[in-house]
Structure 1
């Protein structure tokens, strides 16, 4: 599974890289949902910062997200400043089986909250796949307090 994780995270990083500098104050994140060896949904943070990558990927996948593995370049948010459902909540509600994350997010709305939310929902979480390559995307990202 480790080799496949690297491949799919590479795709998520590729998606995120395409929108670096276009997402306002939000970081450019990539998300790929994989089930039975194939992509069922993918997305990158939209220009201006909304919607988030996970939202786009989940919307594309629809019901196929249930049981999928999500590959996300940056920790999913655990809370939204707007009060809308966080990406962690959305992934849990969709029934993903596993979430593989490249980098933790130090923002106040993520910083462990996203990973905790997933773990509390019984979703397996793997942090640290593709970290070095993904971290290069976030060097200029300064989370809002």
Structure 2
């Protein structure tokens, strides 16, 4: 009798383990995909802003890569500065974070939308990611029911 009980418990444990184990893995995978989709959707537009800087009768074009954070009703764009460089080698005294801090001090947080040359519009990409995220939601809901 004890041997039969052990066999029944072993068979039930095997079936429950084979059913519950993959569900946990699927849930963690779906959660990771969801966070990646949210990150891709929140990526925002990126572009290049150029301006002319003059210092002691020397001038150089300052090229700044920016990321859009928000847009105001007045046509100003709140930006995050990603990278910057001077085209004239005489102006290249600061690099990296020091140059980005100087750029933010010079230009501020808001730039005119019309002066920024935006890269390719991400709307088609964002629509694809959004459709994929919706499919993931449907898949996760059907997995939760089973």
Q: TM-score range by the shorter chain?
A: under 0.3
Q: What is the TM-score with the length of structure 2 in the denominator?
A: 0.22
Q: TM-score, normalised by structure 1?
A: 0.22
Higher-Rg member (1/2): 2
Greater helix fraction, Structure 1 or Structure 2: 2
